[in-house]
Amino acid sequence: MNVIWRNSVSCLRIGKVPHRYQSGYHPIAPLGSRILTDPAKVFEHNMWDHMQWSKEEDAAARKKVEENSAVRVLPEEQVKYETEASRYWDTFYKIHKNKFFKDRNWLLREFPEILPLDQKTEDKAREVSWDHVKTNAANCISRIHCPTMPEEKNQNKKTSGLSQKQGKAGSDFTNLDYEEHRKGPLKTEMFPGSMATFRILEVGCGAGNSVFPILNILQNAPESFLYCCDFASLAVELVKSHASYRAAQCSAFVHDVCDDGLPYPFPDGILDVILLVFVLSSIHPDRMQGVINRLSKLLKPGGILLFRDYGRYDMTQLRFKKGHCLSENFYVRGDGTRAYFFTKGEVQNMFYKAGLHEKQNLVDRRLQVNREKQVKMHRVWVQGKFQKPLHLT
């Protein structure tokens, strides 16, 4: 395990991208995977990785989408879902708080780029990753990818207070009122995380299911800083009230990424990493390109955007009933929140238009099973890594 981890980190250190992270490449059996080789054993485990669909399964999925897309939501209703989107998500978090989604402890395995190249952080990350593998060895590790399953109890211990050195990353302005930034241009010397040397932004942080696993990893990397935003104010409140929230190393703020004129509480061109996980799918397709274009401006040259979201014909799409389709492959749930289902080509095209270079772009197909009811469910996600070029062409 340690050898595998050192090889991965050393590749990142010298600026190379391991084969595992190159465009379109997905290993046959990566660490922790469970590959179904005997169909008769399909109900022996809860999840199988890297599944290939039969022609019959693919045809059935297409037919199901045609059926549930036949009746569209009325135009006036669609306007309501767009203009009141934040209210629907606020209601969602009011009901579920932080109990709906599980902590994304899988982030480091799929996205090692969230690590700053600091030896102490590497040591901590190895420890966290190895503990996670041991904890889940008896179960299907792939289950943690499912964004719709109830949250498991956080097994991580509460972190202790930061040292004086760790406090430097946040600067003296970590508690600066975000409203002040909306009134005029930002002063470079007055933004949260101004003293940090490695900066991450998570877009659509929700209740913090990515925030706190990342903060746990970064606690030994005092020069790192995590920004996280959501346009649901209640979600941001949940993050800031969490026992593990550290203002010296994290700034949570309310932000609508679709509002291109709304400034962020930090300058453009300073981020090393942007995390965009199961967020873009909730945005109207006509506004997606503008969101990505704006996020691209936040990255520093060489910075990377990490993407994961719903893929076309995921079981979530197939389960929608007639009358929930807003437009092609775009649906509204019963609670008013929305979901789009991507193809690999669509993702590639959007990030290319934003001036980002593709480092990875793949379709992740898994088979989830209910062993008690003998039911099989196909999960489909699209995952990508897109880098800002070092030099403008």
Domain extent listing, the chain? 2-387
Distance of CA 130 to the CA centre of its chain: 22
* Continuous segment of H or E residues that includes residue 47: strand 47-49
Per-residue exposure over 250-288, b if at least 16 CB sit within 10 Å of its own CB, e if not = bbbbbbebbeeeebbbbeeebbbbbbbbbbbbbbbbeeb
* Confidence at residue 299, expressed as pLDDT on a 0 to 100 scale: 98
pLDDT one digit per residue (tens) for the chain, 393 residues: 444 343 433 343 334 443 334 444 444 444 447 766 666 666 666 666 777 888 998 999 999 999 999 999 999 899 988 988 878 878 877 776 565 556 677 888 889 999 887 544 455 545 544 444 334 433 333 333 344 333 333 334 333 443 344 444 444 344 344 444 444 444 446 899 999 999 999 999 988 889 999 998 888 888 999 999 998 888 899 999 999 999 999 999 999 999 988 999 999 999 999 999 999 999 999 999 999 999 999 999 999 999 999 999 999 999 999 999 999 999 999 889 999 999 999 999 999 999 999 999 999 888 877 777 777 778 999 999 999 999 765
Return d(Cα 203, Cα 25) in angstroms, integer.
25
Q: Tell me the residue type at 377.
A: M
Query: What is the SS3 assignment for 231?
Result: coil
Contact yes or no for 31/106 (Cβ under 8 A) = no
pLDDT digits (tens, 9 = 90+) for 231-285: 888 889 999 999 999 999 999 999 999 998 899 999 999 999 999 999 999 999 9
Residue 214 main-chain phi, psi, to 5 deg? -70, -45
* Confidence at residue 264, expressed as pLDDT on a 0 to 100 scale: 95
* Confidence at residue 97, expressed as pLDDT on a 0 to 100 scale: 59
* Confidence at residue 222, expressed as pLDDT on a 0 to 100 scale: 85
Q: Quick one: CA dihedral 135, 139, 145, 150, positive or negative?
A: negative
- The upper half-sphere exposure of residue 234, i.e. CA atoms within 13 Å in the direction of its Cβ, equals 13
Angle among Cα 21, 24, 25 to the nearest 5 degrees reads 55
Cα–Cα distances (Å) from 259 to 41, 72, 287, in that order, read: 50, 27, 10
* Confidence at residue 136, expressed as pLDDT on a 0 to 100 scale: 42
Indicate the fold that domain 2-387 takes in CATH: Rossmann fold (3.40.50)
Neighbours of 320 (CB within 10 A): 20
